[in-house]
Chain A
Amino acid sequence: MKKVPLNELKVGQTGVVEEVRDQGFLSQRLLEMGIIRGTPIEVIRFAPMGDPIDIKIRGYHLSLRGEEANGIIVSISDDVN
Chain B
Amino acid sequence: MPEALVNPPTEQKAIIVALAGNPNSGKTTVFNALTKLRQKVGNYSGVTVEKKLGRIIYADNREIDVLDLPGTYSLDVRSPDEKVARDVLLGQMRNTPRPDIVICVVDATNLERNLYLFSQIQDLGLPVIIYLNMMDEVEKQGKKIDVIKLSQSLHAPVIEGVAIHGKGIEELKNMISLAIAPADRRLWRMPEQVESRIEQLMILLWREEGMAKSDTFSEAIILLSKEERVLKEMLKGRPKVIDCVRGIQTDLTEWGINWRSVAIESRYDWLSKVLKGVVLEKSGKKEITVTDRIDAIVTHKIWGWLIFFGLMALMFYSIFTFATIPMDWIDSFFSLLSGWVKQWMPPGDVRDLVTGGVIAGVGAVVIFLPQILILFFFIGLLQDTGYMARAAFIMDRLMSKAGLHGKSFIPMLSSFACAIPGVMAARAIESPKDRLTTILVAPLMSCSARLPVYTIIIAVLIPGAIAWQKAGIMLGLYLAGIIGAFAMAWVFKKTLLRSETPVFIMELPPYRWPPFKDVMLHMWERALIFLRRAGTVIFALSIILWGLMTYPKHDHLDPGEALKHSFAGQAGLLIEPVIKPLGFDWRVGIGLIGSFAAREVFVSTMNIVFNIENEGEGDHLREAFQNATWPDGRALFTPLSCISLMIFFVFAMQCISTVAVVRRETNSWKWPLFQIFYMTGLAYVISLLVYQGGLLLGFH
Contact = CB atoms under 8 A, between A and B. Distances in A.
A joins B in a complex: yes
A49 B73 CA distance: 28
Contacts of A24: 227, 501
Interface string B503-530: 1111111100000000000000000000
Interface string B142-163: 0000000000000000000000
Closest 9 CB pairs of A and B: A49-B397, A61-B508, A31-B264, A48-B301, A32-B74, A65-B504, A58-B112, A60-B110, A36-B265
Contacts of B394: 47-49
Interface of B: 73-74, 76, 78, 109-110, 112-113, 116, 225, 227, 260-261, 264-265, 268, 291-292, 295-296, 299-301, 304-305, 389, 393-394, 396-398, 400, 406, 430-431, 501-510
A45 B430 CA distance: 24
B190 to A, nearest CB: 13
A23 B406 CA distance: 20
A52 B505 CA distance: 10
Given A24-B227, A58-B113, A48 B507 contact: no
A36 B396 contact: no
A37 interface: yes
A59 B112 contact: yes
A62 B507 contact: yes
Contacts of B398: 49
Nearest to B266: A36
Interface string A44-56: 1101111110100
A19 to B, nearest CB: 9
Given A54-B295, A63-B389, 7 more contacts: A22-B260, A26-B503, A28-B260, A28-B264, A34-B268, A47-B397, A65-B504
Nearest to B304: A48
Contacts of B299: 45, 47-48, 54
Interface in A1-44: 20, 22-34, 36-37, 44
22 contacts: A24-B501, A25-B501, A28-B225, A32-B76, A33-B505, A34-B112, A37-B261, A45-B299, A48-B301, A50-B397, A51-B396, A51-B397, A51-B400, A54-B295, A59-B109, A61-B291, A62-B505, A63-B505, A63-B508, A65-B400, A68-B503, A68-B505
Contacts of A47: 299, 393-394, 396-397
Nearest to B397: A49
Interface residues of A, number: 35
A65 B295 CA distance: 18
A45 B295 contact: yes
A22 B227 CA distance: 11
User: Interface residues of A: mostly helix, strand, loop or mixed?
Assistant: mixed
Contacts of A62: 505-508
Nearest to A20: B261
A65 B396 contact: yes
Given A36-B261, A45-B295, A47-B393, A25 B503 contact: yes
A51 B501 CA distance: 16
Contact of B507 (A23, A50, A61, A68): A61
A18 B394 CA distance: 28
A49 B291 CA distance: 21
Nearest to A59: B110
Contacts of B268: 34, 36
Given A54-B295, A61-B507, A26 B501 contact: yes
A36 B406 contact: no
B295 A32 contact: no
B449 to A, nearest CB: 33
A52 B397 contact: yes
A31 B268 CA distance: 10
Interface in A56-77: 58-65, 67-68
A52 B264 CA distance: 25
Contacts of B502: 65, 67
Contacts of B261: 20, 31, 36-37
A61 B508 CA distance: 5
A29 B74 CA distance: 9
Nearest to B78: A25
Nearest to B405: A65
B300 A64 contact: no
A28 B431 CA distance: 13
A30 B397 contact: no
Given A28-B260, A32-B116, A48 B300 contact: yes
B113 A60 contact: yes
A32 B112 CA distance: 11
